[in-house]
């Protein structure tokens, strides 16, 4: 005989076993690996590391790289914060978290930046990548080039948003490097990462980690990330008394436990870091974007502005750090220097040495025209040329170097731009790309009612024609300017 009550006991055991198999085991198996790193942002010294070089799923920490490249593209004139971006069906179809973009609509780039930085919107991140490189796949390739240049040796990106994809992996170490580079390379945009709310054009969005920002003294960014495969990730930065610490966590079990762990790591960092330490800013990578639609690679200077800067308003939104780009000079009231031996020329020559290295293989997006060894700048006159203008009259032309043209009266125009700064930048980059025909010419910015013309003057007709044909072959806009 079977004991009375044995059947219910047996069924109870079956139920418990089922619960274990369906709930407890999957949850433990899905637990993401833990990794962490703490770094003194001033010196780059690692203060704590655990499993920091393990390749794990970064989730939306990926968007730090997406935004880094967007800031780079804006700084180098590839795109403007005011440019309108048309949303593709691919971007609109990205799963949450998302801004809610619709296929075919247009929206200013600045709103996509805010949505990606503050809300961690996947549709906005994809739209940013497509706006910069034309497709998300092409943008991912640029992400990987930039990651390598930053020293992120164990990172591979496959998309712009960080949703789980085979091979899309990074490390706590690499993401700490990226967070530090964002802080030093683009301080004018850094406060995006500490905005509790932001206007994203079609609606206001809230920060994904406002609890940490509100609860930890000195916290001012940077980025959260979560997927089931990744767990709860966070790269956080905080400043206290001139000390800045960056802490990264992969594989947190919940938002609350992750935030508590990051706070613990930041505290550890502040305890271990010295009050005073020499600032060792990270080396800025070369610019590997596009110039007039053509791929370029231009070495960046190593000297960097400090983070302390005045605050200004970005399109009527929350205050951001002042851009550290060169500003247009006001009209002078006395004779002004219109040509001199300036640091721009030395920077150009330094950049030439980098570009003189062997060009990448044909078809590479980083391929640049090689500058041959026999190209040398012509000697410049010792005399400095001065020009005066009546008090109050605006200067219509800005001459960037002394001409050694020897009486040549032809020139070329390489475009009209909305600012004097942009026109000057284009002249420098074009001169670097086409030294063979443009060396010795006079680089001149001419103010027009609708913008600033970027011209090279002091050429013969033959050299102007050759320069234009060579530039047009590189898909750079150019037309000749005759005498008079």
Q: Could you count the other beta carbons within 10 Å of the beta carbon of residue 306?
A: 10
For residue 260, what are the contacts with CB-CB under 8 A and spacing of at least 6? none
Burial class (CB in 10 A: 0-12, 13-18, 19+), 101: buried
Q: Given the DSSP bridges, would you call strands 386-387 and 442-448 parallel, antiparallel or unpaired?
A: unpaired
State the Cα–Cα distance between residues 371 and 368, nearest whole angstrom. 9
Catalytic residue among 88, 97, 120, 194: 120
Q: Could you count the other beta carbons within 10 Å of the beta carbon of residue 408?
A: 20
Return the pLDDT at 467: 87
Return the pLDDT at 20: 47
Nearest Cα neighbor of 178 from 221, 125, 241 is 221
For this structure, is 290 an active site residue?
no
3-state secondary structure the chain: CCCCCHHHHHHHHHHHHHHHHHHHHHHHHHCCCCEEEEEECCCCCEEEEECCCCCECCHHHHHHHHHHHHHHHHHCCCCCCCCEEECCHHHHCCCCCCCCCCCCCEEEHHHHHHHHHHHCCHHHHHHHHHHHHCCHHHHHHHHHHHHHHHCCCCCECCCCCCCCCCCCEECHHHHHHHHHHHHHHCCCCHHHHHCCEEECCCCEEECCCHHHHHHCCCEEEEEEEEECCCEEEEEEEEEECCEEEEEEEEEECCHHHHHHHHHHHHHHHHHHCCCCCCCCCCCCCCECCEECCEECCECCCCCCCCCCCCEEECCCCCEEECCCCCCCCCCCCCCEECCCCCHHHHHHHHHHHHHCCCCCCCCCCCCCCCCCCCCCCCCCCCCCCEECCCCCCCCCEEECCCCCCCCCCEEEEEEEECCHHHHHHHHHHHHHHCHHHHCCCEEEEEEECCEEEEEEEEECHHHHHHHHHHHHHCCCCCEEECCC
Return the pLDDT at 16: 56
For this structure, is 60 an active site residue?
yes
Catalytic residue among 60, 88, 403, 405: 60
Cα separation values, 176 from 110, 124, 195, 207, 283, Å? 25, 23, 20, 20, 15
State the Cα–Cα distance between residues 73 and 68, nearest whole angstrom. 9
Catalytic residue among 63, 261, 422, 474: 63
pLDDT under 50 in the chain at which residues? Answer: 1-2, 20-29, 301-343, 346-347, 350-351, 353-406
State the Cα–Cα distance between residues 7 and 13, nearest whole angstrom. 10
Query: Cis link prior to 97 (omega < 30° from 0)?
Result: yes
For this structure, is 444 an active site residue?
no
398 close to 470: Cβ distance less than 8 angstroms: no
Residue 244 bridge partners (DSSP): 239
For residue 427, what are the contacts with CB-CB under 8 A and spacing of at least 6? 400, 414, 443, 445, 454, 456
223 close to 193: Cβ distance less than 8 angstroms: yes
Cα separation values, 226 from 12, 127, 346, 410, 472, Å? 36, 20, 46, 59, 47
State the Cα–Cα distance between residues 88 and 142, nearest whole angstrom. 20
Tens-place pLDDT, residues 163-195: 999 999 999 999 999 999 999 999 999 999 999
Residue-level length of the chain: 484
Q: With b meaning 16 or more CB within 10 Å and e meaning fewer, what string describes 368-377?
A: bbebeeeeee
Nearest Cα neighbor of 147 from 139, 187, 356, 37 is 139
Cα angle vertex 56, ends 115, 255, to 5°?
55
CA atoms within 13 A on the CB side of 471: 30
Return the pLDDT at 68: 98
Residue 250 bridge partners (DSSP): 35
Tell me the pTM: 0.60
Query: Cis link prior to 244 (omega < 30° from 0)?
Result: no
């Amino acid at each position: 005989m079977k004991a009375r009550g044995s059947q219910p006991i047996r069924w109870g055991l079956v139920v418990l076993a089922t619960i274990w198999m369906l709930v407890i085991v999957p949850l433990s198996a899905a637990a993401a690996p833990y990794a962490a790193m703490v770094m003194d942002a001033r010196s780059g010294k690692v203060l704590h590391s655990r499993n920091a070089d393990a390749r794990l799923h970064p989730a939306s920490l990926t968007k730090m790289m997406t935004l880094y490249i967007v800031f780079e593209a804006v700084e180098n004139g590839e795109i403007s914060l005011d440019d309108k971006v048309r949303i593709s069906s691919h971007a609109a179809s990205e799963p949450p978290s998302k801004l809610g973009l619709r296929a075919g609509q247009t929206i200013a780039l600045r709103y996509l930046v805010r949505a990606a930085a503050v809300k961690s919107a996947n549709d906005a991140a994809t739209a940013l990548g497509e706006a910069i490189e034309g497709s998300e796949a092409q943008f991912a390739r640029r992400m990987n080039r930039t990651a390598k240049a930053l020293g992120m040796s164990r990172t591979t990106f496959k998309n712009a948003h960080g949703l789980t994809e085979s091979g899309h992996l990074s490390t706590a170490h690499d993401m700490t490097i990226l967070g530090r580079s964002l802080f030093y390379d683009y301080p004018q945009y850094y406060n995006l990462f500490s905005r509790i709310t932001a206007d994203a054009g079609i609606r206001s969005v809230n920060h994904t980690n406002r609890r940490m920002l509100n609860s930890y003294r000195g916290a001012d960014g940077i980025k959260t990330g979560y997927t089931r495969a990744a767990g709860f990730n966070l790269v956080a930065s905080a400043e206290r008394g001139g000390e800045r610490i960056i802490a990264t966590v992969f594989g947190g079990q919940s938002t609350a436990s992750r935030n508590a762990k990051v706070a613990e790591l930041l505290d550890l960092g502040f305890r271990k870091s010295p009050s005073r330490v020499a600032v060792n800013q990270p080396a800025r990578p070369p610019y590997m974007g596009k110039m007039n639609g053509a791929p370029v690679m231009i070495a960046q200077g190593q000297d960097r502005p400090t983070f302390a800067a005045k605050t200004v308003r970005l399109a009527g939104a929350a205050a951001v750090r002042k851009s550290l780009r060169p500003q247009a000079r006001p009209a002078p009231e006395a004779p002004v220097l219109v040509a001199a031996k300036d640091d721009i020329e030395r920077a150009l020559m330094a950049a030439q040495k980098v570009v003189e290295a062997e060009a990448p293989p044909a078809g590479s997006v980083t391929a640049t025209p090689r500058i041959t060894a026999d190209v040398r700048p012509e000697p410049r006159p010792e005399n400095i040329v001065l020009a005066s203008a009546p008090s109050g009259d605006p200067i219509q032309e800005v001459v960037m170097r002394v001409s050694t043209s020897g009486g040549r009266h032809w020139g070329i125009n390489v475009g009209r731009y909305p600012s004097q700064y942009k026109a000057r930048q284009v002249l420098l980059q074009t001169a670097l790309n086409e030294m063979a025909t443009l060396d010795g010419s006079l680089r001149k910015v001419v103010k027009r009612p609708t913008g600033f013309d970027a011209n090279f003057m002091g050429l013969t007709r033959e050299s102007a024609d050759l320069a234009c044909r060579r530039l047009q072959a590189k898909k750079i806009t150019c037309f000749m300017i005759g005498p008079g």
